[in-house]
Homo-oligomer: A and B are copies of this chain.
Amino acid sequence: MGAARAIVLFGHGARDARWREPFDRLQARLVALQPDVAVRVAFLELMAPSLAEAVDELASAGAQRITVVPVFFGVGGHLRRDFPVLVEDCRAKHPGVEIQATGAVGEVDSVLDAIAGFCVGAMSRHA
């Protein structure tokens, strides 16, 4: 039996395998912070697993509550149109699992603050 709670970090995906490195680092950070939570990455396209595959695997392993976090900066067609449909499909397939989706991380104040801080630091080092 796996963890009852799970987080899925949902990204766009890309052709270059190295593109996923920040997702893997984020996953490792979350596992360190929350060892009792199953943490998975999943992708919209070009990389595996898909969101459906990740949710299927978590549900099979016993997850009861899954929080899906879109790791996107901007909110365009992918998140406005495609993502809600994918989440609904997962809910329909797994009615016994609570599946919650958050907003995009690029819309979170603390994330924007961290990026702004990085920009200021980078400019200061560029003296």
The residues of A with any CB-CB pair to B shorter than 8 Å are 5, 7, 9, 11-12, 14-16, 18-23, 25-26, 29-30, 33-34, 37, 65, 67, 69, 71-77, 80, 98, 100, 102, 104-108, 110-120, 122-123, 126
A61 to B110, CA, bound (A): 32
In angstroms, Cα B121 to Cα A34, docked, is 11
Contact of A112 among B26, B77, B123 (CB under 8 A): B26
Choice from B69, B72, B73, B98 contacting A118 with Cβ under 8 Å: B69
CB distance from A55 to the nearest CB of B (A): 15
**A126 and B37 alpha carbons, distance in the complex (Å):** 13
- Determine if A110 and B120 form an interchain contact, defined as CB atoms under 8 angstroms apart: no
Other-chain contact of A67, B26, B74, B115, B122 (Cβ < 8 Å):
B122
